[in-house]
A and B are shown apart, each in its own frame.
Chain A
Amino acid sequence: MTATTIKFYQTGTHTVGNRLLDPEHRSVQADMRRTNSLNSGHRACQGCGEALGARYAIDAAMQATDNQLIAANATGCLEVFSTPYPETSWQIPWIHSLFGNTAAVATGIAAAMRVKGRSDVRVVAQGGDGGTTDIGFGCLSGMFERNDDVLYICYDNEAYMNTGVQRSSATPGAARTATTPAVGDAPGNVFGQGKNLPLIAMAHEIPYVATAIVSELRDLEAKVKRAMEIRGARYIHVFVPCPLGWGTNSWDTIHIARLAKETGVFPVFEAERDRIVSVSKIRKQLPVEAYLRPQRRFAHLFSPTPNTEAIAHIQALADRNIRRFGLVDPAAETAVAAPVATGNP
């Protein structure tokens, strides 16, 4: 991974910027000249993780390509909240066609650029988890298989948020959605189903696959930059908490993302072809409960009686991630209290 190794003990390497660092080593988001590709006035909810993730990713892609970028966008929150006709929040060439065909649209744009001899113009496709793991999956798999010169970015908020929080194949076990209510013997979404798209992408042996998270900006930016240095099909899966759909505080979006990583629920890694090349380690390991408790979609796991079995199941999945991806540095410090106390605003 390419995040800076310079350590400033006050700001660490964890803040967005750092006045003590040379400007060229700072993050794109710290730069006063960042493009704000997704501009103010969009209609995303307060504290939207997807809006944040999209600006992080696309601003980084813009900087990496000298602003020679075209984006295709699947139907979903990101598209709907950014472009109510005739307004747009996008400050880049941007096209929306359908819910399920984004990868194909992007492939078409890339082909057109090739025909026009514009090798400088780069193409991204972006969409939600529903548009990616479910309805757009066929087009995406084709794009991978043909190794089309497109970076596909999935903003994973773990359900169909735009249409009212329906389950997708990225919804985690036990989570309550509109279509997986918290009733019956096994309340919430079933365990054991769903797709792990980053691993499926790796199985296509495309040049570059990565996962990222809104709480690790520098890592996210480094991955977008890396992806833009490569030609062919690339895939980045960004974990973006959704305050409305998950029932979390608007001010906790980044905090929740951080907990997903620190508990091992969401592994952050980078792969080339079918090989994992780097892993972002857990800094202060926490039990999954720390991540589940603040989310109303998991409230039924704690009241009226604790569902220890379901919590243990989720913990087992996190532990499996930790083992499988080597998320814990054996030498690193282990669990202390939750990193941040949060109250009302």
Chain B
Amino acid sequence: MEKPFAITLDVGSSLANKTGTWRTYRPQYVDRLPPCNNACPAGENIQEWLFHAESGDYEQAWRALTANNPLPAVMGRVCYHPCETACNRGQLDESVGINSVERFLGDQAIKLGWKFTPPASSSGKQVLVVGAGPSGLSAAYHLARLGHRVTIQEAGPFAGGMMRFGIPKYRLPRDVLDAEVQRILDLGVVLQLNTKVENIEQTMKDSGFDAAFLAVGAHIAKRAYIPAADSARMLDAMQVLRGMEDEEKPMLGRRVVVYGGGNTALDVARTAKRLGATDAIIVYRRTREKMPAHDFEVEEALQEGIMIKWLSTIKNMSDEGTLTVEKMALDATGFPQPTGEFETLESDSLVLALGQDVDLSLLNGVPGLEIKDGVVQVGTNMMTGRAGIFAGGDMVPSERTVTVAIGHGKKAARNIDAWLRGETYAPAPKHALAEFDKLNTWYYDDAPKMVRPTLDLARRQSTFEEVVGGLDESTALFEARRCLSCGNCFECDNCYGVCPDNAVIKLGPGNRFEFNYDYCKGCGICRTECPCGAIVMVPETI
């Protein structure tokens, strides 16, 4: 080629200069485990479904959510949301309202009639699920989606278990529960109501089930010995809450005393108030700090005029309903001790809310089972000592919440599926946690949490209308967008923009990015400026 004056070389591009050789550290994209996901007892991929919700694709968000939990509209109402307690945004302003967005998605699905995708093929295997509570329904759902034929046998007249008999309507309207149960049944799950399994081995043999998942819950109310006159009206919490599902509501009278300090005690007292009690009084042996009930429930109950007598035990009950109450005092170790000081309390009825035991009668004669402290022992795979019989929910050692039960159902389903194929289920290894200090919070704007509306007090005291309302589309979208996407790329283009060497390749929407190691000098700016901590620098081996 003819060159201009004084030019001896052809023009070259600096692309010939592979500056990647300068590097001593190389950037790498990683996914970290967001604290919300880590805290979710049902194993939801919260950050992932919020990602879809942020773009307004609620159906995709709902599908991602229900890959792990089939009951979002229920969850969005009754879950105690440990995800929000763990949420990194809590350290910035306030945690993301995960629970409200979940409810919005669940309600949206009911409103628009979204259905689960049926399995592509059938395994030919039959699985029996005993109990139609949260754990049983969750297991049935996951097993059905894995292609197994599932039959649920439920002793009671309705599906839902504790979601129906333990959680009052004002926290969970029944049409919501019914809609989510029906959607699971629509997958082909057979539900047999009023069918109590008396002997699990026999039932399995008779109907040819290949495996069973037991989730009968804990329904037998614990009693405390309280000497009472014959005509004294003493009930237990289960009788009251279960009775609320009948035509004829329980008769509690105008002065109702509830004995206990858990969420159930509060539920009963709040129910009594709504049934017309002028006074609903909780008697609890310890102090508010020691109360196992959740703070928001205590708060809501106090707002509704529920009274709580702290540091008190009930000694006896007379014919006329007069209760003798002994005052307690905390000892040095924080344990309540009797003081010998007594007072009386008038009541029309006394409701004991002291916890529940499991009815284990269906397990009579099953070899290999281990029962300890009134609950069935299971392995990490949720299998009991009897091969092929799995168990979960309140009848195994656990924290007794709906969410934990749903998590058990999922875990059991995955293990049953593997067991049926003669394999062992190996969950995918977890990513390292995305702690708050991994984030570059400069990039997040301040935004207050969206608060859900609550029903006015007068209606809360007299009706069973739902107390806590839902977010609407715009507030739910706003709330979803508050998510920081901890530890997972959300395609903000920062790395692509901040590289002084154009060594980040953008792969286009949904495909994230790649490093061009030919030119990356390893300066690490991308790592520093990644908002969500999805880049690490690792030493080069030279």
B443: CB under 8 A from chain A? yes
- In the complex, A309 Cα to B280 Cα: how many Å? 69
- In the complex, A135 Cα to B13 Cα: how many Å? 30
Q: Given A9-B447, A86-B10, A41 and B442 touching (CB < 8 A)? A: no
Whether B498 and A254, one on each chain, are in contact in the complex, defined by CB atoms closer than 8 angstroms, is: yes
Whether A87 and B502, one on each chain, are in contact in the complex, defined by CB atoms closer than 8 angstroms, is: no
- In the complex, A309 Cα to B13 Cα: how many Å? 50
- In the complex, A187 Cα to B516 Cα: how many Å? 43
Which of B109-117, B223-231, B392-400, B517-525 is found at the contact surface with chain A? B517-525
- Kindly list chain A residues whose C-beta atoms are within 8 Å of the C-beta of B54: 10, 20
State the Cβ distance, B178 to closest chain A Cβ, in Å: 35
Whether A82 and B442, one on each chain, are in contact in the complex, defined by CB atoms closer than 8 angstroms, is: no
Q: Which residues 487-528 of B sit at the A interface, judged by CB distance below 8 A?
A: 490-494, 496-503, 506, 508-509, 516, 518-519, 521-525, 527-528
State the Cβ distance, A245 to closest chain B Cβ, in Å: 15
- Kindly list chain B residues whose C-beta atoms are within 8 Å of the C-beta of A41: 13-19, 519
- Kindly list chain A residues whose C-beta atoms are within 8 Å of the C-beta of B15: 39-41
Q: Given A9-B478, A20-B481, A40 and B502 touching (CB < 8 A)? A: yes
Closest to B14 in A: A41
- Kindly list chain A residues whose C-beta atoms are within 8 Å of the C-beta of B335: none
Whether B55 and A20, one on each chain, are in contact in the complex, defined by CB atoms closer than 8 angstroms, is: yes
Which of A151-159, A265-273, A337-345 is found at the contact surface with chain B? A337-345
Closest to B498 in A: A254
Residue in contact with B525 in the complex, picked from A15, A18, A36, A251, CB distance below 8 Å: A251
A69: CB under 8 A from chain B? no
Whether A87 and B531, one on each chain, are in contact in the complex, defined by CB atoms closer than 8 angstroms, is: no
- Kindly list chain B residues whose C-beta atoms are within 8 Å of the C-beta of A27: 493, 497
State the Cβ distance, B366 to closest chain A Cβ, in Å: 51
Q: Given A20-B54, A41-B519, A47-B523, A12 and B444 touching (CB < 8 A)? A: yes
Whether B16 and A17, one on each chain, are in contact in the complex, defined by CB atoms closer than 8 angstroms, is: no
Q: Given A10-B54, A17-B496, A41-B19, A55 and B502 touching (CB < 8 A)? A: yes
B458: CB under 8 A from chain A? no
B22: CB under 8 A from chain A? yes
Whether A14 and B527, one on each chain, are in contact in the complex, defined by CB atoms closer than 8 angstroms, is: no
A148: CB under 8 A from chain B? no
B341: CB under 8 A from chain A? no
Whether A7 and B445, one on each chain, are in contact in the complex, defined by CB atoms closer than 8 angstroms, is: yes
Closest to B448 in A: A9
Closest to A11 in B: B492
A183: CB under 8 A from chain B? no
Q: How many residues of chain B are within 8 Å of chain A by beta carbon?
A: 59
- In the complex, A167 Cα to B493 Cα: how many Å? 36
B282: CB under 8 A from chain A? no
- In the complex, A303 Cα to B477 Cα: how many Å? 51
A89: CB under 8 A from chain B? yes
- Kindly list chain B residues whose C-beta atoms are within 8 Å of the C-beta of A65: none
Whether B14 and A87, one on each chain, are in contact in the complex, defined by CB atoms closer than 8 angstroms, is: yes
Whether A253 and B491, one on each chain, are in contact in the complex, defined by CB atoms closer than 8 angstroms, is: no
- In the complex, A339 Cα to B440 Cα: how many Å? 8
Whether B500 and A52, one on each chain, are in contact in the complex, defined by CB atoms closer than 8 angstroms, is: yes
- In the complex, A102 Cα to B211 Cα: how many Å? 82
State the Cβ distance, B51 to closest chain A Cβ, in Å: 9
State the Cβ distance, A260 to closest chain B Cβ, in Å: 14
- Kindly list chain A residues whose C-beta atoms are within 8 Å of the C-beta of B502: 36, 39-40, 55
Interface residues on A, range: 35 or more
Interface residues as binary, B427-454 with A (CB distance below 8 Å gives 1, 0 otherwise): 0000000000100111111110000000
B292: CB under 8 A from chain A? no
State the Cβ distance, B496 to closest chain A Cβ, in Å: 7
- Kindly list chain A residues whose C-beta atoms are within 8 Å of the C-beta of B506: 32
Most chain B CB neighbours (cut-off 10 Å) among A55, A217, A251: A251
- In the complex, A344 Cα to B17 Cα: how many Å? 27
State the Cβ distance, A40 to closest chain B Cβ, in Å: 4
Closest to A10 in B: B481
Q: Which residues 524-539 of B sit at the A interface, judged by CB distance below 8 A?
A: 524-525, 527-529, 531, 537
- In the complex, A244 Cα to B388 Cα: how many Å? 67
A interface secondary structure, majority: loop
A96: CB under 8 A from chain B? no
Interface residues as binary, B198-221 with A (CB distance below 8 Å gives 1, 0 otherwise): 000000000000000000000000
Whether B531 and A258, one on each chain, are in contact in the complex, defined by CB atoms closer than 8 angstroms, is: no
B311: CB under 8 A from chain A? no
Whether A339 and B442, one on each chain, are in contact in the complex, defined by CB atoms closer than 8 angstroms, is: yes
A43: CB under 8 A from chain B? yes
Whether A16 and B496, one on each chain, are in contact in the complex, defined by CB atoms closer than 8 angstroms, is: yes
B255: CB under 8 A from chain A? no
A225: CB under 8 A from chain B? no
Residue in contact with A254 in the complex, picked from B490, B496, B529, CB distance below 8 Å: B529
Q: Given A16-B496, A253-B523, A340-B440, A40 and B516 touching (CB < 8 A)? A: yes
Whether A17 and B528, one on each chain, are in contact in the complex, defined by CB atoms closer than 8 angstroms, is: no
- Kindly list chain B residues whose C-beta atoms are within 8 Å of the C-beta of A10: 54, 444, 481-485, 490
A8: CB under 8 A from chain B? yes
Q: Which residues 29-79 of A sit at the B interface, judged by CB distance below 8 A?
A: 29-30, 32, 36, 39-44, 46-49, 51-52, 55
Whether B493 and A17, one on each chain, are in contact in the complex, defined by CB atoms closer than 8 angstroms, is: yes
B29: CB under 8 A from chain A? no
- Kindly list chain B residues whose C-beta atoms are within 8 Å of the C-beta of A42: 14, 17, 19, 501
- In the complex, A26 Cα to B518 Cα: how many Å? 28
Most chain A CB neighbours (cut-off 10 Å) among B484, B509, B528, B531: B528
B464: CB under 8 A from chain A? no
Most chain A CB neighbours (cut-off 10 Å) among B9, B482, B494, B506: B494
State the Cβ distance, B3 to closest chain A Cβ, in Å: 10
- In the complex, A170 Cα to B61 Cα: how many Å? 53
Whether A39 and B13, one on each chain, are in contact in the complex, defined by CB atoms closer than 8 angstroms, is: yes
Whether B522 and A46, one on each chain, are in contact in the complex, defined by CB atoms closer than 8 angstroms, is: yes
State the Cβ distance, B512 to closest chain A Cβ, in Å: 11
Whether B19 and A15, one on each chain, are in contact in the complex, defined by CB atoms closer than 8 angstroms, is: no
Whether A14 and B483, one on each chain, are in contact in the complex, defined by CB atoms closer than 8 angstroms, is: no
Whether A15 and B501, one on each chain, are in contact in the complex, defined by CB atoms closer than 8 angstroms, is: no
Whether B13 and A88, one on each chain, are in contact in the complex, defined by CB atoms closer than 8 angstroms, is: yes
A226: CB under 8 A from chain B? no
Interface residues as binary, B153-178 with A (CB distance below 8 Å gives 1, 0 otherwise): 00000000000000000000000000
- Kindly list chain B residues whose C-beta atoms are within 8 Å of the C-beta of A180: none
Residue in contact with B496 in the complex, picked from A30, A88, A250, A342, CB distance below 8 Å: A30
- Kindly list chain B residues whose C-beta atoms are within 8 Å of the C-beta of A342: 528
Whether B481 and A86, one on each chain, are in contact in the complex, defined by CB atoms closer than 8 angstroms, is: no
Whether A255 and B531, one on each chain, are in contact in the complex, defined by CB atoms closer than 8 angstroms, is: no
- In the complex, A7 Cα to B482 Cα: how many Å? 11
- Kindly list chain A residues whose C-beta atoms are within 8 Å of the C-beta of B55: 19-20
Residue in contact with A40 in the complex, picked from B10, B19, B447, B531, CB distance below 8 Å: B19
- In the complex, A41 Cα to B22 Cα: how many Å? 11
- Kindly list chain A residues whose C-beta atoms are within 8 Å of the C-beta of B445: 7-9, 12-14
Residue in contact with B500 in the complex, picked from A9, A14, A19, A51, CB distance below 8 Å: A51
B1: CB under 8 A from chain A? no
- In the complex, A10 Cα to B521 Cα: how many Å? 29
- Kindly list chain A residues whose C-beta atoms are within 8 Å of the C-beta of B485: 10
- Kindly list chain B residues whose C-beta atoms are within 8 Å of the C-beta of A46: 22, 521-523
Residue in contact with A17 in the complex, picked from B442, B481, B497, B524, CB distance below 8 Å: B497
Whether A11 and B531, one on each chain, are in contact in the complex, defined by CB atoms closer than 8 angstroms, is: yes
- In the complex, A36 Cα to B499 Cα: how many Å? 11
10 A-B pairs (CB sep. < 8 Å): A13-B445, A15-B493, A19-B55, A29-B493, A40-B19, A48-B500, A88-B13, A253-B500, A253-B523, A345-B537
Residues of B within 8 A of A (CB): 9-19, 22, 25, 54-55, 437, 440-447, 478, 481-485, 490-494, 496-503, 506, 508-509, 516, 518-519, 521-525, 527-529, 531, 537
The list of the 10 closest CB pairs from A to B, nearest first, reads: A17-B493, A16-B497, A251-B524, A41-B14, A47-B523, A345-B537, A9-B447, A12-B445, A40-B519, A46-B523
Given A14-B445, A254-B498: 15 more A-B contacts, CB < 8 Å? A16-B497, A17-B492, A17-B494, A32-B508, A39-B15, A40-B501, A40-B502, A40-B518, A41-B19, A47-B525, A48-B500, A87-B16, A88-B14, A340-B440, A345-B522
